Chains A and B, each alone.
Chain A
Amino acid sequence: MIVRILGEGQFQVDGDAATKLAALDSELDAAVQASEEAAFRAALDASVRLIRESGTRVPDDAIVTADFILPFSDATLAEVRQLLTDGNISGDSVGLP
């Protein structure tokens, strides 16, 4: 599957790593729901590390959509919560009228 880390681009992640990532994603979700800052940080850091270490970069000239998108590696809980609630991608960078 293709995973994007915001600010870092897309990675191809498969096999065991993909399974582990799905588990971390659930931890991340639980932490966001419960507003647990420490658990959130731990799950986000672990996800970022896993993707960076086990993923293969999608070539720069490939134009594909990601199956999963991880927030910025240094995102705060509040930031992620806001992204999830108002679905706001700032700057309207997709840029169509």
Chain B
Amino acid sequence: MSVMKRVSLIFRAKANKALDRMEDPRETLDYSYQQQVEMLTRVRRGVADVATSRKRVELQMNQLQKEVDRREGQARDALGKGREDLARAALQNKSSLQGQLNDLQGQYSALQEQEEKLTMASQRLQARVDAFRTRKETIKATYTAAEAQTRINEAFSGISEEMGDIGLAIQRAEDKTAQMQARAGAIDELLASGALEDHVGGNQDNIQAELDRIGAGSDIDAELAQMKGELSASAPRQLEANPNGDSPAPVDDQPPQAGDGS
């Protein structure tokens, strides 16, 4: 038998089984309505969860993009200083990061699509629940018990199918969101701990350190001088007397009280 027919029969069987268990048909309507309202809440929460996941992935994409740009800057910097080896290492790093970024972009579009579909499903269900409520009252008010049974069966089967569909959709969204969150958590940790460079196979720290060594000796001196200047606000001004020290050691020797207090 065809796939589509079998799936439809599965949904119908489920509805029939539920109907068989109900003794009073009118109760069925109220109970089902109550379930529908609960389902609406669940769908809306599902939409919100997917949106949260999507935003998180978006943030991470921005962070990764920054890292990618930084590597590119380093590569240019290294080339400018005649260090092709360093430039190559930086670009290798960039390429690994770019791979992660592309992966996230794929996830992002998947989440976006899921969010749109769930939003539409939620609107559809809302419309049907409203229609069901009206029909439920009409059935209760108008028909005799025997007549009502047929109408109830129709309405119940129809709404059950909608609920079954949305239930499945939500379940999938929840599974996917949980997976994303686990992965996102791992990337967050990496980004936060600064270990991303190492994780993607890199000696990025070495690249930056090397670049710093080559080009930034004078920058360090300038920065040191500036720090000394700031410290001198609360410390004796004799520190400024040494503007061109060539060792970074003074950083450790700085008075500890300066940074802590206020």
- Nearest Cβ on chain A to B108's Cβ, whole angstroms: 15
With beta carbons under 8 angstroms apart, the residue of B3, B11, B39 that contacts A95 is B39
Sorting the interface of chain A by its residue count into under 10, 10 to 19, 20 to 34 or 35 or more gives 35 or more
CB distance A4 to B128 under 8 Å?
no
Known contacts A29-B3, A61-B127; A69 and B11 CB within 8 A of each other = yes
CB distance B168 to A90 under 8 Å?
yes
CB distance B127 to A32 under 8 Å?
no
B66-125 at interface with A (beta carbon < 8 Å) = 117, 120-121, 123-124
Chain B CB within 10 Å — which of A22, A26, A65 has the most?
A65
CB distance A64 to B127 under 8 Å?
no
Q: Chain A residues near B55 (CB, 8 Å)?
A: none
CB distance B8 to A83 under 8 Å?
no
With beta carbons under 8 angstroms apart, the residue of B3, B10, B15, B169 that contacts A28 is B3
Q: Chain B residues near A28 (CB, 8 Å)?
A: 2-4
Chain A CB within 10 Å — which of B11, B21, B132 has the most?
B11
The stretch that binds A, out of B159-167, B194-202, B213-221, B248-256, is B159-167
Taken together as a complex, chains A and B put the C-alpha atoms of A21 and B38 apart, in Å, by 35
CB distance B167 to A69 under 8 Å?
no
- Nearest Cβ on chain A to B120's Cβ, whole angstroms: 8
The stretch that binds A, out of B57-65, B140-148, B150-158, B233-241, is B150-158
CB distance B2 to A63 under 8 Å?
no
State whether the Cβ of B7 lies closer than 8 Å to any Cβ in chain A. Answer: yes
A72-96 at interface with B (beta carbon < 8 Å) = 72, 80, 83-84, 87, 89-96
Known contacts A6-B169, A96-B21; A71 and B3 CB within 8 A of each other = yes
CB distance B35 to A96 under 8 Å?
yes
State whether the Cβ of B182 lies closer than 8 Å to any Cβ in chain A. Answer: no
Known contacts A70-B4, A91-B171; A63 and B159 CB within 8 A of each other = yes
Q: Which of chain A's residues has its CB closest to B18's CB?
A: A96
Q: Chain A residues near B19 (CB, 8 Å)?
A: 96
A6-61 at interface with B (beta carbon < 8 Å) = 6-9, 21-22, 25-26, 28-29, 32, 47, 60-61
Chain B CB within 10 Å — which of A22, A26, A29, A69 has the most?
A69
Q: Which residues of A contact B (CB under 8 A)?
A: 3-4, 6-9, 21-22, 25-26, 28-29, 32, 47, 60-72, 80, 83-84, 87, 89-97
Q: Which residues of B contact A (CB under 8 A)?
A: 1-8, 10-15, 18-19, 21-22, 28, 31-32, 35, 38-39, 117, 120-121, 123-124, 127-128, 130-132, 135, 154-155, 157-172
Task: Identify 19 residue pairs between A and B in the complex whose beta-carbon atoms are under 8 Å apart, listed by A's number.
Answer: A4-B165, A7-B168, A9-B124, A29-B1, A47-B4, A60-B131, A63-B158, A64-B154, A65-B15, A66-B161, A69-B7, A69-B11, A70-B7, A71-B3, A80-B3, A94-B35, A95-B35, A96-B18, A96-B22
